[in-house]
Amino acid sequence: MRKLVKWGHWAVAATFAVTGAPFLFSVVAIVPRSVQRDPQMGAFTLFWGVILSLPPFACAWGIIKWRRWGWMLAIVDSVVILGGYATVVRNNKALDWGIVLALIYCAMLVWLLLPVVRAEYLRRSQVA
């Protein structure tokens, strides 16, 4: 069980980092061209790209550093993302990828809610 906790936290953190990367990429790749065409749209893209990349990156950082706030934020973020994928699957848009990504986030949520994982986060928060 110890290896599940140890290696699982790396997998969950990596998944959250990969989730935040497209939003950050949109800031780097799309904003310079958007600003040239329409400054308002460029500012809008910059604002939402940064805002939407913060929670997944914060989750990844908190999970890697074994912070209790990172664990709680990851649970909330997983539930929100699962709700989004449930809506996509329900509307039959991108059904195959929606199901695969929903299963990945279900597995992450199950890992986050395991009693041994919860105990590890509580133990580490008391030590630190």
Q: How far apart are CA 31 and CA 93, in angstroms?
A: 27
The pLDDT-based confidence of 74 (bands split at 50, 70, 90) is: very high
| pTM given for the model | 0.80
> What does the mean pLDDT of the chain come to?
81
Q: What is the tally of structural domains in the chain?
A: 1
Reported as a single tens digit per residue, the pLDDT across 48-73 is: 777 888 889 999 999 999 888 999 99
Q: Give tens-digit pLDDT for 87-127.
A: 776 776 656 666 778 888 899 999 999 999 888 888 876 65
Is residue 92 left, alpha or beta, with left meaning phi > 0 and alpha meaning psi from -120 to 50? left
Spatial separation of the C-alpha atoms in residues 86 and 103, rounded to whole Å: 10
Domain with 28, as residue range(s), is 2-127
